[in-house]
């Protein structure tokens, strides 16, 4: 967990740091659109359209954006839960093995990777099999990988349940007997069963009530400390992301538009879309009057994105260059990346 608040400290820290845990280059995921009698491919939905990213060991990287921006698909590609169309995803799994390209893995090696990286899902109601007991659900990863059985299995599951704040006596019960918050804990226990290093948390608290949300966020932070976990935290609630993430990446229509240290991003965003997103956060305080920046039109269609910068039809700062040239992700300030032609000229408002 990088706990530095001063950006200049963060820079020196970072350069001294070891290699990152994970490196993504040119990640693309296109879904074919098939139509007609012969189901010919008529085009592609570009769900993820060129994402570059590194994740440091022990950090929480927040990934935000609106529905359909490709944030969940990105998370899944990092785990090879869906196969990317293009691009490279490399993990530094251990010092002995060095960099591992997960799209080159097969058989035994792929199974080893599956133990290294896990996922926590959004909906605790549909992500647990209703016909399985907690013992079966939480113990399944251990059984499948032949790591434990019988008494040993019960022992390990009991331990996992205790870690997430559930009573081991509940082991023989079925998910329907539990509330949303408890079910999310069951899902977390299952994802921890194989002692992973990296977890993709896909909207882990958005289906939970306010009071349960706070408990779950605390639990995730405690587990991170205890097991030295690295998180990719996919979410749309910026209040939650600002609280939990060390760095935040913003996506819009399959592309990463901005990536920065959390405090830096919320205090002084560099991309106009980030500015709009932040202006739409509603603070839980009637004395703070906010005004959302107006944004024209609808989100671009990922099957037929606009030319140049995908955000230009809705951007209040757009000029000719924005619909002619595609902007690249550039490091404008130390550790602050943005893909906007006009990032140096315009001054945007943050929320901190």
Q: Which residues of the shown chain bind other proteins in the complex (CB under 8 A)?
A: 5, 66-67, 179-182, 209-215, 217-218, 221, 236-240, 242-244, 263, 266, 276-277, 279-288, 290, 292, 295, 298-299, 351-352
What is the closest distance, in whole angstroms, from the C-beta atom of residue 217 to other proteins in the complex? 6
Containing H/E element for 118?
Answer: strand 117-120
What is the closest distance, in whole angstroms, from the C-beta atom of residue 351 to other proteins in the complex? 5
Q: What angle do CA 278, 281, 285 make, to 5 degrees?
A: 135
Cβ count near 226 (within 10 Å): 10
Nearer to other proteins, 32 or 283 (CB): 283
CA distance 295 to 109: 47
Nearer to other proteins, 97 or 179 (CB): 179
Name, in order, each residue with C-beta under 8 angstroms of 93's C-beta and a sequence gap of 6 or more. Answer: 100, 112, 113, 116, 197
Nearer to other proteins, 114 or 258 (CB): 258
What is the closest distance, in whole angstroms, from the C-beta atom of residue 14 to other proteins in the complex? 20
- The answer to whether the CB of 55 falls within 8 A of the CB of 67 is no
Nearer to other proteins, 236 or 330 (CB): 236
Nearer to other proteins, 39 or 290 (CB): 290
Pairing of strands 198-202, 117-120: parallel
Q: Please list the residues that pair with 60 across neighbouring strands.
A: 231
What is the closest distance, in whole angstroms, from the C-beta atom of residue 135 to other proteins in the complex? 22
Nearer to other proteins, 120 or 153 (CB): 120
What is the closest distance, in whole angstroms, from the C-beta atom of residue 4 to other proteins in the complex? 12
- The answer to whether the CB of 262 falls within 8 A of the CB of 247 is yes
Residue 166 has, within 13 A of its CA and on its CB side, a CA count of: 31
Residue 348 has, within 13 A of its CA and on its CB side, a CA count of: 27
CA distance 113 to 21: 13
What is the closest distance, in whole angstroms, from the C-beta atom of residue 147 to other proteins in the complex? 31
Nearer to other proteins, 157 or 240 (CB): 240
What is the closest distance, in whole angstroms, from the C-beta atom of residue 251 to other proteins in the complex? 13
């Amino acid at each position: 967990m990088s706990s530095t608040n001063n950006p200049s400290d963060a820079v020196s820290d970072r350069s001294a740091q070891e290699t990152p845990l994970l490196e993504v280059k040119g990640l693309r995921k296109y879904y074919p659109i098939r139509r007609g009698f012969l189901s010919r491919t008529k085009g592609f939905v570009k769900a993820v359209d060129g994402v570059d990213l590194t994740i440091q060991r022990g950090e929480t990287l927040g990934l935000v954006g609106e529905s359909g921006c490709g944030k969940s698909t990105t998370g899944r590609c990092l785990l090879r839960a869906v196969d990317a169309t293009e691009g490279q995803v490399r993990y530094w799994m251990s010092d002995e093995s060095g960099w591992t390209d997960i799209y080159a893995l097969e058989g035994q090696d792929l199974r080893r990777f599956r133990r290294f990286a896990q996922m926590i899902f959004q909906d605790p109601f549909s992500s647990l099999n209703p016909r399985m007991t907690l013992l079966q659900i939480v113990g399944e990863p251990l059984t499948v990988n032949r790591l434990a059985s019988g008494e040993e299995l019960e022992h390990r599951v009991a331990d996992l349940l205790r870690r997430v704040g559930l009573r081991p006596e509940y082991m023989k019960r079925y998910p329907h007997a539990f509330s949303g918050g408890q079910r999310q804990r069951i899902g977390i226990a299952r994802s921890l069963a194989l002692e992973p290093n990296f977890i993709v948390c896909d909207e882990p608290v958005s289906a939970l009530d306010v009071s349960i949300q706070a408990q779950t966020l605390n639990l995730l932070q405690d587990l991170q400390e205890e097991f030295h976990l690295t998180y990719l935290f996919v979410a749309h609630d910026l209040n939650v992301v600002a609280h939990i993430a060390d760095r935040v990446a913003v996506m819009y229509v399959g592309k990463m538009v901005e990536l920065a240290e959390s405090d830096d991003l919320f205090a002084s965003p560099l991309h106009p879309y980030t500015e709009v997103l932040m202006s739409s956060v509603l603070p839980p305080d009637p004395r703070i009057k906010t005004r959302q920046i107006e944004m024209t039109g609808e989100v671009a269609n990922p099957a037929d994105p606009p030319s140049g910068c995908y955000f230009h039809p809705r951007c209040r700062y757009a000029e000719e260059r924005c619909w002619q040239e595609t902007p690249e992700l550039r490091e404008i300030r130390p550790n602050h990346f943005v893909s906007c032609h006009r990032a140096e000229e315009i001054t945007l408002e943050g929320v901190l």
